[in-house]
């Protein structure tokens, strides 16, 4: 993993080729398609413009156990994320285990318009310690026809927001089902439109340091059956070890270990 870590530090992103076997990718795809067909969709009027123009399945980890198992459990991804996002002063969890958390997971298929260049770290900065990292689990082939993710290499350290006039300078990341593309969320990135009739699904998982707010209340909404099936490590990545205590009588420290997991 050292080469991948070096590449992320220098270029802002890396590709883990064949990180997930095709059988598992097909199961993930079946589940994405099932959710897309059968679950209620959020109101398009209150959906942010960028999401409205592409097909998005929100919070798949709340709907099928397979998503947490495969995405949170991938060992190569875990070692990269632990390197970049673990807090070394989080003593309540063993330092070889993740103490970062999932901010959100979506499945996204490119649509007829480009996804403009953006960052997902909310603020740019040029420090050597990222706060937010993203992994795209490639479900369908990403090429010029289906619409690849595009990036501006090394832009994660530019300490600036993504300028809209640089889209044409961004380079495409070609990838195949089962690859995982990992990037520092400060990297200027976007996606090309889908010019084909094929789908272009990817599962986009955003991970953050433990003290950053999650997109949704993913801990309080997680179905009981999914929670009970998870390992302590998976529960901690979902955020169960760093929910703020109600008051000083529940717990003083905002950081907790696996003992809070029931």
Ligand X SMILES: O=C(O)CCC(=O)C(=O)O
Interface positions with ligand X (CB under 6 A): 108, 115, 120, 149, 189, 191, 202, 204
3-state secondary structure of 207: strand
Q: Which does 202 bind (CB under 5 to 8 A by kind): ligand X, Fe ion, none?
A: ligand X
d(CA 95, CA 207): 17
d(CA 125, CA 171): 22
Region of 12 (left: φ > 0; alpha: ψ -120 to 50; beta: rest) is left
Binding site for Fe ion (CB under 5 A): 120
Q: Point out which residues pair with 173 in neighbouring strands.
A: 149
Residue 42 token pair: 């959020």
CB of 196 to ligand X, least distance (A): 15
CB of 51 to ligand X, least distance (A): 8
d(CA 248, CA 244): 10
Output 35 or 115, the one with its CB closest to ligand X.
115
Output 120 or 179, the one with its CB closest to ligand X.
120
Helices of type H across 61-197: 65-67, 73, 75-85
Output 70 or 133, the one with its CB closest to ligand X.
133
CB of 147 to ligand X, least distance (A): 7
Output 19 or 115, the one with its CB closest to ligand X.
115
Q: Which does 149 bind (CB under 5 to 8 A by kind): Fe ion, ligand X, none?
A: ligand X
């Amino acid at each position: 993993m050292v080469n991948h870590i070096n590449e992320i530090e220098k270029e802002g992103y890396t590709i883990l080729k064949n990180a997930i076997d095709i059988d598992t990718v097909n199961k993930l795809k079946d589940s994405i398609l099932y959710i897309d067909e059968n679950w209620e969709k959020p109101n398009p009027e209150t959906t942010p413009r960028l999401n409205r123009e592409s097909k998005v399945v929100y919070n798949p980890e709340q709907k099928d156990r397979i998503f947490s198992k495969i995405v949170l459990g991938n060992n190569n991804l875990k070692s990269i994320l632990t390197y970049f996002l673990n807090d070394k002063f989080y003593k309540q969890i063993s330092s070889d285990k993740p103490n970062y958390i999932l901010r959100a997971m979506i499945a996204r298929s490119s649509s007829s318009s480009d996804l403009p260049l953006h960052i997902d770290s909310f603020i740019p900065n040029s420090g050597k310690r990222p706060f937010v990292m993203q992994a795209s689990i490639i479900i369908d082939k990403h090429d010029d026809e289906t619409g690849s993710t595009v990036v501006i290499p090394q832009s994660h350290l530019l300490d600036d927001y993504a300028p809209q006039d640089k889209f044409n300078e961004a380079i495409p990341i070609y990838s195949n089902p089962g690859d995982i593309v990992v990037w520092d969320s400060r990297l200027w990135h976007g996606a090309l439109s889908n010019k084909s009739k094929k789908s272009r699904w990817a599962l986009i998982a955003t991970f953050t340091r433990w003290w950053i707010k999650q997109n949704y209340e993913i801990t309080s909404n997680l179905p009981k059956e999914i929670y009970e099936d998870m390992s302590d490590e998976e529960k901690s990545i979902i955020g169960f070890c760093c929910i703020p205590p109600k008051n000083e009588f529940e717990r003083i420290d905002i950081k907790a270990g696996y003992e809070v997991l029931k």
